[in-house]
């Protein structure tokens, strides 16, 4: 039986990916409504070869809808998600607004699918860096119990949206041509450069992105004392985030067993060629579902510790795919 589905933010990077994945995964749809701001109303998007007209997002847009996939920004979800729930729909929200609400499940389907049943109309999609890290870390945590996680991220422009991706391309072209360029999305020089993540910095020196990784992982893993510290960096990559992960366990891990665990882990794919010094790269993960993992090795500086490298498509598994997997379980 088909579902009546609405997409909030249908014209953005994640909204576009949601449409593609709904079609690719043959999600059962009886009716599809694409919602965006007034400036996008009247434009069209393609779905299964048909032009779908964009409608202006309003509080009465959700009448008769079963499912709302929201990716239009936190302030928009704050305003409109309650209206969708009131109309009888379940909202899978891609923004950060509801993630830490104790009444709202925060779900990575490969990790805590059972939490979906606790929803009261809204289910939150975690931050992209959190999702990409959780997929390889959780099965290892189940086996040896993580005592402390140290994460360094290398985050693509896709994390800041479609306009940031376009701006990176335009700025790179301008630099190569020796021309000046005025940025409007990314605050720092971005072409051939990198910088600590541009989310809001707290008084403790951690930015919002780093704090999200800790708080969200604790909620998803149901481990209130999970120890994690992160350094998040924006790099001049179009799409797919990379993460260097160091894990200290309570018990002694075995590298070969860790590889076997990750080969069997849902949503994870081991990709490497040691002889060729070849490991997962953003180009490998772009447009792909699995989080790619490689370069597992013992941390020679600390007992019971290992290092690993992972790469995941921020728009896909880091946002749209995770949301649709939640919807499929619903």
Q: Give me the average pLDDT of each 10-residue run along the chain (330 residues).
A: 92 92 96 92 90 94 97 93 97 96 98 97 97 98 98 96 94 97 94 93 94 97 97 97 98 97 98 97 97 98 97 96 96
Helix H or strand E encompassing 62: none
Q: How far is CA 284 from CA 227, 271, 277, in A?
A: 30, 9, 15
| SS3 assignment, position 58 | coil
So what's the pLDDT on residue 272?
A: 97
Cβ(241)–Cβ(133) below 8 Å = no
CA atoms within 13 A on the CB side of 57: 25
DSSP letters spanning 159-207: GG-HHHHHHHHHHHHHHHTT-----SS-SS--TT--EE--SPBPTTS-B
φ/ψ (deg, to 5) at 278: -115, 120
CA atoms within 13 A on the CB side of 13: 22
Catalytic, 310? Answer no
Using CA atoms in the order 322, 323, 327, 330, what is the torsion angle rounded to 10 degrees?
70
φ/ψ (deg, to 5) at 269: -135, 125
Catalytic residue among 128, 141, 232, 310: 128
CA atoms within 13 A on the CB side of 95: 21
Tokens representing residue 126 in the block: 């975690």
So what's the pLDDT on residue 39?
A: 87
- CATH 2.60.120.460 for the 3-126+320-329 domain, yes or no: no
Q: How far is CA 230 from CA 147, 215, 308, in A?
A: 15, 11, 15
Helix H or strand E encompassing 18: helix 13-24
Catalytic, 241? Answer yes
Q: Decide if 3-126+320-329 and 130-314 have a common fold.
A: no
Which residues, at least 6 apart from 221, have a Cβ–Cβ distance to it below 8 Å? 111, 112, 134, 138, 141
So what's the pLDDT on residue 193?
A: 97
| SS3 assignment, position 135 | helix
Catalytic residue among 119, 141, 197, 241: 241
Nearest to 221 by CA among 148, 137, 122, 124: 137
So what's the pLDDT on residue 215?
A: 97
pTM (predicted TM-score): 0.95
Sheet strands (E) in 3-57? 3-8, 29-36, 44-47, 50-56
So what's the pLDDT on residue 324?
A: 97
User: What does the domain layout of the chain look like in residue ranges?
Assistant: 3-126+320-329, 130-314
Residues 77, 74: Cα–Cα separation, whole Å? 5
Domain 130-314: give its CATH code.
3.30.360.10
């Amino acid at each position: 039986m088909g579902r009546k589905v609405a997409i909030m933010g249908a014209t953005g990077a994640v909204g576009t990916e949601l449409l593609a994945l709904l079609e690719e995964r043959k999600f059962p749809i009886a009716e599809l409504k694409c919602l965006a701001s007034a400036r996008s109303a009247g434009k069209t998007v393609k779905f299964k070869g048909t032009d779908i007209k964009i409608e202006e997002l309003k509080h009465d847009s959700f009448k008769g809808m079963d499912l709302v996939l929201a990716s239009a920004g936190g302030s928009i979800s704050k305003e409109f998600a309650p209206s969708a729930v009131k109309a009888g729909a379940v909202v899978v929200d891609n923004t950060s607004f509801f993630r830490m609400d104790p009444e709202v499940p925060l779900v990575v389907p490969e990790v805590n699918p059972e939490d979906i049943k606790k929803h009261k109309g809204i289910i939150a999609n975690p931050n992209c860096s959190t999702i990409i890290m959780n997929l390889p870390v959780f099965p290892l945590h189940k086996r040896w119990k993580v005592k402390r996680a140290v994460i360094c991220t290398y985050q693509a422009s896709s994390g800041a949206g479609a306009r940031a991706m376009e701006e990176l391309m335009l700025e790179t072209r301008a630099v190569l041509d020796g021309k000046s360029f005025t940025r409007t999305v990314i605050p720092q020089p971005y072409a051939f450069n990198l910088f600590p993540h541009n989310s809001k910095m707290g008084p403790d020196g951690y930015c919002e992105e780093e704090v999200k990784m800790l708080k969200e992982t604790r909620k998803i893993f149901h481990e209130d004392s999970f120890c994690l510290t992160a350094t998040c960096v924006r790099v001049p990559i179009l799409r797919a985030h990379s993460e260097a992960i160091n894990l200290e366990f309570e018990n002694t891990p075995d590298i070969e067993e860790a590889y076997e665990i990750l080969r069997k882990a849902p949503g994870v794919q081991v990709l490497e060629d040691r002889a060729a010094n070849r490991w997962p790269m953003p180009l490998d993960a772009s447009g792909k579902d699995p989080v790619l993992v490689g370069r597992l090795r013992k941390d020679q500086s600390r007992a019971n510790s290992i290092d690993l490298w992972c790469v995941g498509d921020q728009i896909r598994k880091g946002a749209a795919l995770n949301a649709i997997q939640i919807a499929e379980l619903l």
